[in-house]
Amino acid sequence: MIEIINLTKHYGEIKAVENVSFSVNKGEILGFLGPNGAGKSTTMNIITGYIPSTSGTVTVDGYDIMEHSREVKKRIGYMPELPPLYLDMTVTDFLDFCAQLKEVDKKAWKSQKDDIMELVKITHVQHRLIRNLSKGYKQRVGLAQALVGAPEVLVLDEPTVGLDPKQIIEIRKLIKALGKNHTIILSSHILPEVSAVCERVVIINKGKIVAVDTPENLSKNLTDFTKFRMTIAGPEKRVKELIQQVYGVKYLEVQNTGKDDECSYIIEADKDIDVRKPIFHKLAQVGYPILELRSLGLSLEEIFLQLTTEEREVN
Amino acid sequence: MLAIWKREVQAYFYQPIAYILIGFFFLISSIYFTFGTVAAQVAELNNLLSSIIFILTFVCPILTMRILTEDRKNGTEVLLVTSPVDVYQIVLGKFLAAFTVFMVMFASTFIYLAIIYILGGQPEIPMLIGGYIGFLLVGASYVAIGVFASSLTENQIVAAIISFAILLLINIIDPIATFVGGFTAKVLDMFSLLSRYSDLNAGILDITSIIYYLSFTAVFLFLTTRVIDKRRWSQG
């Protein structure tokens, strides 16, 4: 649906985006992740045709953004970081204006308008001036604006920034629901957001892509060991010895649980060797029961930090 | 384009600005009408029109100061540019909106015409038409200058000052041209909006003058689209 090839944007000496290439499939929710100032907004502004790129191409549904910008713009609903709202208009007037601006068929708009307002839950504030709405509602009107004309692609730049936790959860749910019949690019610097909503993640840092994968794969591939936590009843010293004897165990850390006869152990082992079974057998022989076994995957947060800091070291 | 025009005209009347400007214009022109026309027992309006055209130097910068600056400040420029409309349509829609308010303001002078007829005066129609067309054309040029100025900055006050400065220069360009003389005078004359207005107001419907004003307006609107495009290339 969206193809981005070798996208580059320079502001004089500053390279805001460099050789960024990725594609978004139809119906996919793609997370665009990176620290502040990584080039997320610049990339999104280029995809939506707000600013031109220095070099590289963007095609949406087969149309090039530079050559057929009108066709591309018809297919994209964009919600920039600062929702573009006319504060002196009421919600309905503003949405009507957007529909005219986007050349939505008048009859189609009549039925669409109520659906959109229902979806983002702004029906009850429709006759109020946008100026008087709270931040959360302004954000929703901004989202409603992007939905006008039922575009196939939605580009959302940090849609939950500045909202309270309850609103954030609501907006995320909404985006997930929208993902059923839209192709969505969503940018964020908040990691749980991306892992909660997106099917695929593009991590960008200092204008360059550092990783593209599903959140799960990212966490799998980036680690060359498996990590889990075991709580075992038995004397600490003896248990520690037993575990260390198992082939494949690379690292062991003991955490006290506060109870006399049991301890927690953080175990890291080679990725290819399953050490859980031998540990169980060993402990069973001497009668020390395993009370808890939990796998500790690398969280997206750790991956993110790892990727973006590694990049820094290279530079 | 129509959507932008409609929104901007509404915005003018949602806010007090249009009423204040029209009121101000009507007040000043009424003073001129009362003392210069009625009290002097003159049965024509051309004198009045040429007297009150200076008010536009103050009114037009304020009329146009927020027309593009506000979009940059509120981020609505992103909405306009990423919608399936061209930049020239955005600029034209905005210009026409400001010009619509200008025409409403201008329409207030029809009251004076009615009063003249009621008092039994018979103004000369060709002169009147020339005066009206001239006034509208000068107005269009002034509004275009204002729109251009508002594309240069995101601060309304700065925009107003820039267009006020340009209009002030245009007001004093004739005396300057006479003073310097020669080739420079000819160049300066190209920017002399008011000398051509005197001809029109005298009832001389010269097609070159009309084309002059229309192209003057078009050039400034074109420059406005260039400024917006240029900024899109250089900024994020």
Q: pLDDT tens-digit profile of B122-133? A: 888 888 888 999
**A42 vs B: CB within 8 A:** yes
Q: What's the total number of domains in chain B?
A: 1
Contact B75 A48 (CB under 8 A): no
**A27 vs B: CB within 8 A:** no
- What pLDDT does B218 receive? 96
Contact B80 A73 (CB under 8 A): no
> Number of H helices and number of E strands within chain B?
14, 0
Residue A291, judged by CB atoms within 10 A of its CB (0-12, 13-18, 19+), counts as middle
Residues of chain A with pLDDT below 50 are: 311-315
Question: Which of these, B3, B27, B7, lies nearest to B15 by C-alpha position?
Answer: B7
Q: What's the mean pLDDT in B74-102?
A: 93
Q: Are B152 and B230 in contact (CB under 8 A)?
A: no
**A17 vs B: CB within 8 A:** no
- What pLDDT does A15 receive? 85
- What pLDDT does A301 receive? 64
Length of chain B: 236
pLDDT value at B236 more than 60: no
Mutate which of B79, B89, B92, B228 to test chain A, going by most A C-beta atoms within 10 A? B79
Q: Scanning every residue of chain B, which has its alpha carbon at the shortest distance from the alpha carbon of A155?
A: B82
- What pLDDT does A313 receive? 42
What would the pLDDT profile of A232-279 be if each residue is shown by its tens digit?
888 888 888 888 888 888 888 888 777 778 888 888 887 777 888 888
Contact A73 B84 (CB under 8 A): yes
Long-range contacts of B83-88 (CB under 8 A, 24+ apart): B83/A73, B83/A98, B83/A101, B83/A102, B84/A70, B84/A73, B84/A74, B84/A102, B84/A103, B85/A101, B85/B1, B85/B4, B86/A70, B87/B225, B87/B228, B87/B229, B88/B221, B88/B222, B88/B225
How close, in Å, is residue A32 to chain B by CA atoms? 18
Taking residue B119's Cβ as centre, other Cβ atoms within 10 Å add up to 11
Q: Which of A42, A85, A93 sits opposite B76 (nearest CB)?
A: A85
Rounded to an integer, what distance in angstroms lies between the CA atom of residue B126 and that of residue B109? 17
The strand pairing partners of A256, in sequence order, are: A263
**B11 vs A: CB within 8 A:** yes
Q: In the A/B pair of chains, how many CB contacts fall below 8 A?
A: 78
Rounded to an integer, what distance in angstroms lies between the CA atom of residue A95 and that of residue A74? 16
CA dihedral B229, B233, B235, B236 (to 10 degrees): 100
Locate tokens 């009370």: which residue?
A: A291
Pairing state of beta strands A225-233 and A290-295? Answer: antiparallel
Query: A-chain residues within 8 Å CB-CB of B14?
Result: 88-89
**B202 vs A: CB within 8 A:** no
Rounded to an integer, what distance in angstroms lies between the CA atom of residue A96 and that of residue A56? 35
The strand pairing partners of B170, in sequence order, are: none
At position A26, the amino acid (one-letter code) is: K
Contact A101 B236 (CB under 8 A): no
Locate tokens 């160049």: which residue?
A: B187
Domains of chain A: 2-220 (3.40.50.300), 224-296 (3.30.70.3190)
**Structural domain range at position B119:** 2-234
At position B209, the amino acid (one-letter code) is: S
**A43 vs B: CB within 8 A:** no
**B4 vs A: CB within 8 A:** yes
Contact B82 A74 (CB under 8 A): no
Q: Are B220 and B147 in contact (CB under 8 A)?
A: yes
Query: A-chain residues within 8 Å CB-CB of B234?
Result: 11
Pure H helices in A198-268: 215-221, 236-245
- What pLDDT does B89 receive? 94
How close, in Å, is residue A268 to chain B by CA atoms? 46
SS3 A289: coil
**A130 vs B: CB within 8 A:** no
